[in-house]
């Protein structure tokens, strides 16, 4: 998970620059936000994927990201699970997001959505969505500094990131859901997440089957 760990020999995929201008206000996005579990069969573009990843954990300057982090320890990593035809010009598979370079590192190939749903109580939103964004935590980054407050802080940070994604998705006319119910070991095994890392949220994202009210 650590971008310093060599995951594959493929070169990093550079994502398009995220935009900092939108047509929906923060207040409108807050009002429109809903958990969405049904999606139409429509791929996302690389621009949209970049925007979603940026909202979750993107860089906003030197040692600064789109979400706050206790002591700037940044324990969160994001894995994108891309379905077949889930993102235009991107093969199905799992990818690790690198906030510093705004890039993606290919991790595992193939459409993992069915298997991911299987270890997540068969939640159909996971298979219905073109993309699932998984928030993963490395507690050790925070523990060295915050000791017994580590779990509390890391979970708070996952909440900040998830809410950003909810609002960014709403602003783009997309939907998502923060899925917390899954088999930890099953998800870790499937996504080859190292032992001391923990998946916290699976967030399917796509064009809602029914527009938000
Ligand atoms: C910690 C947490 C875990 C959740 N886990 C799931 C889940 O496993 N599956 C799911 O469909 N929704 C899950 N949700 C979404 C809630 O069901 C949803 O937020 C709630 O029904 C309120 O609806 P709203 O988000 O549209 O306002 C979770 C939400 C939170 C905060």
Q: Which residue CA neighbors atom 25 of ligand 1 most closely?
A: 35
Output the average pLDDT for the chain: 94
Residue 9, pLDDT score: 62
Taking the C-alpha atoms of residue 127 and residue 118, their distance in angstroms, rounded to an integer, is 10
pLDDT-based confidence at 11, cuts 50/70/90? confident
Residue 4, pLDDT score: 39
Residue 195, pLDDT score: 86
Question: Each residue of 48-64: pLDDT tens digit?
Answer: 999 999 999 999 999 99
Task: Pick the closest to residue 64 from 50, 56, 75, 74 (CA basis).
Answer: 74
Residue 120, pLDDT score: 98
**CB of 188 shorter than 6 A to ligand 1:** no
Query: Which residue carries 């998502």 as its tokens?
Result: 176
- The answer to whether residues 145 and 73 touch, using CB atoms and an 8 Å cutoff, is yes
Question: Each residue of 130-186: pLDDT tens digit?
Answer: 999 999 999 999 999 999 999 999 999 999 999 999 999 999 999 999 999 999 999
**CB of 176 shorter than 6 A to ligand 1:** no
Taking the C-alpha atoms of residue 15 and residue 9, their distance in angstroms, rounded to an integer, is 18
Look at 6-15, 41-50, 88-97, 162-171 and tell me which has the smallest mean pLDDT: 6-15
Domains within the chain, CATH numbers bracketed: 34-206 (3.40.109.10)
């Amino acid at each position: 998970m650590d971008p310093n760990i060599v995951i594959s020999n493929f070169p990093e995929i550079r994502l398009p620059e995220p935009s900092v201008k939108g047509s929906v206000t923060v207040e409108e996005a807050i009002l429109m936000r809903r958990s969405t579990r049904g999606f139409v069969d429509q791929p996302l573009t690389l621009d949209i994927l970049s925007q979603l990843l940026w909202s979750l954990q993107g860089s906003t300057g030197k040692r600064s990201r789109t979400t706050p982090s206790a002591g700037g320890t940044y324990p969160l990593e994001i894995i994108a699970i891309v379905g077949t035809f889930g993102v235009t010009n991107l093969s199905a598979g799992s990818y690790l997001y690198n906030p510093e370079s705004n890039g993606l590192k290919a991790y595992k190939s193939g459409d993992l959505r069915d298997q991911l749903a299987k270890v997540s109580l068969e939640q159909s939103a996971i298979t219905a969505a073109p993309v699932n964004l998984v928030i993963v935590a490395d507690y050790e980054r925070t523990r060295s500094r915050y000791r017994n407050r580590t779990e509390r802080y890391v979970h708070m940070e996952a909440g900040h990131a998830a809410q950003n994604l909810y609002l960014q998705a709403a602003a783009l006319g997309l939907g998502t859901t923060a899925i917390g119910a899954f088999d930890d070991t099953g998800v870790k095994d499937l996504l080859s997440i190292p032992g001391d890392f923990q998946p916290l949220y699976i967030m399917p994202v796509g064009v809602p089957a029914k527009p938000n009210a």
